[in-house]
Structure 1
Amino acid sequence: MSTPTNASSAIAQLQGNSLTGLVQNELERMIVAGELAPGAKLTEITIATRLGVSRGPVREAFRMLEEAGLVRTEKNRGVFVRDIALDEALEIFELRAVMEMYIGRKLAETATAAQAKALRQLVDAMDQATKAGDAHEFHRFNLEFHDSLLQLAGNAKFAANYRRLIKELSLIRRKNLTVESMAVYTREHRQIVKAIAAHDAEAAGQAMFDHVMNSRERTLHNYSEQPAEAPVQPPARKRAARGAVEA
């Protein structure tokens, strides 16, 4: 049986681990939402003060975020939000497209009518956000849509690797949200759900693959030297959804 001292130490460790997780989740949300921009320097004391915690959990959260690919540590300089290079992002899109094809094929074989209906309702919500020009709401429902697809696929190991890729892409892809692109994303999402509901594995897989590769091409265009359409600015003070899975 543990002594009171050992028990107290164990409780303190659990509390510390829990607090570190909360700090990590909040920093991750701020990075994905664009509140902490790529290249921004993060200091322990500033983040600790902002979140009302000690510096220990912040330091540990920085380490975990570096493992997740969202921040980088530079010797004698500090911790910075990662700035994903375009070439790296394009490679991630290609890998993600293959993963999405798997998801589409699997859901076409396993999704129920109720699950397809729920996916269709999320697409309807994205359509309403597009018509209102509300990039924040579109982004929120878009994350929920893709995270729902991922959860329905039911492969935890696959999901963990997929989410890491999506979080890395979030560092570069906010520029893709324009009124025009939101409408395109919505049409592509409807095609995906239609194929899943029809239990057409070939069509669902191809629709998912094309959706990601089309997004890759939009990213390439937006970050080329040619002028791109100005991104829609999300309303101030609204928060992005936690799932971090994008179109």
Structure 2
Amino acid sequence: MNKAPFETADDLAEAQLSLSAQLQRKLEKLILNGELKPGEKLNELDLSKRFGTSRGPLREAMQNLCARGLAEAVRNRGVFVRTISPEEAFELYDVRAALFGLAGYLLTDRINDTILENLHVYLDRMETLAKKRSVPEYYRANLEFHDYLVRSAGNKALLIEYHSFVNRLHLCRMRVLVSEGGLSVSNREHAEMVDAAASGDNQRAQQTFFRHVERAKMRFRATLDREEMTQDVTAAPVQKG
């Protein structure tokens, strides 16, 4: 059976990864689980002590985080966890939806038994992770699943543009996934996309891929609304009788 790319990477023991790759994974988990918050500075000294490592591999890991859109380097100030405004996020979702829809349209003409088998391996893996509520692991598999879909569409220009938008949306997408039921809903839509791509109907695939991102945008908006309501309740003064 052909294995999807993530299986090779995820099944490697941490000891087999380079030190900078190990540190990158640890930092990703701290960011995606909220321990390192948007706008927070990645303090090299504190992190090197925490992980028991020198600053060289740590700097490389931080550079990789910047390349993936999870952090940003500010000249003469350091590296910070990336922040993104809701307005910017909504605009990015709109462009990503159009690009992803195009990927679905193109993929329909290129899909074969090998690609389809790999996609089902991804679906099974993410279903297992969703049941375990393994959010960081699911998120990584989710990213690789979407990347595999776009790569399989066979358009290099599309892949480059897609990555430029996806990297800037990482933190928004994680917040949606950790919301109640986010993992299972996400993977049900993944299965719909695979079915659409395998149907041979370009228009159906384009619409299904586009709708997946639009739904994610709506879930992100709902997540923001819930967070705002929670903040309002927390900040409300206590009424004394």
TM-score (normalizing by structure 1): 0.69
CA distance in 1: counterparts of 2:195 and 2:146, whole angstroms: 15
Structure 2 equivalent of residue 176 of structure 1: 176
Structure 1 equivalent of residue 84 of structure 2: 84
Note if contact 1:24-1:62 (Cα within 8 Å) is conserved in structure 2. Answer: no
Cα RMSD between the aligned structures?
3.1
Query: Displacement of 1:45 after TM fit?
Result: 3.3
2:27 is the counterpart of 1:30: yes
Distance 1:43 1:138, change over 3 A: closer
* Unaligned 5+ runs, structure 1: 1-20, 229-247
Structure 2 equivalent of residue 192 of structure 1: 193
- Length, aligned pairs only: 207
* Unaligned 5+ runs, structure 2: 1-17, 232-241
* Amino acid corresponding to residue 192 of structure 1 in structure 2: M
2:141 is the counterpart of 1:141: yes
Q: How does 1:193-232 map to 2 (within 5 A)?
A: 193-224=194-225, 225-226=228-229
Structure 2 equivalent of residue 112 of structure 1: 112
CA distance in 2: counterparts of 1:114 and 1:75, whole angstroms: 46
Structure 2 equivalent of residue 4 of structure 1: none
Structure 1 equivalent of residue 164 of structure 2: 164
CA distance in 2: counterparts of 1:132 and 1:61, whole angstroms: 28
Query: Displacement of 1:140 after TM fit?
Result: 3.5
Note if contact 2:71-2:82 (Cα within 8 Å) is conserved in structure 1. Answer: yes
Note if contact 1:130-1:179 (Cα within 8 Å) is conserved in structure 2. Answer: no
**Cα shift readout 1:49-108 (whole Å, capped 9, x = no counterpart):** 5473345x7567756755664434456654311111111111111110011011101110
Query: 3-state SS of the aligned residue for 1:171?
Result: helix
CA distance in 2: counterparts of 1:145 and 1:68, whole angstroms: 16
CA distance in 2: counterparts of 1:133 and 1:190, whole angstroms: 18
Query: Displacement of 1:179 after TM fit?
Result: 4.6
Structure 1 equivalent of residue 12 of structure 2: none
TM-score (normalizing by structure 2): 0.71
**Cα shift readout 1:20-57 (whole Å, capped 9, x = no counterpart):** x97489447724644643222123334455473345x7
Note if contact 2:108-2:202 (Cα within 8 Å) is conserved in structure 1. Answer: yes
Decide which structure has greater helix share.
Answer: 2
- Identity among equivalent positions (%) equals 32
2:100 is the counterpart of 1:103: no
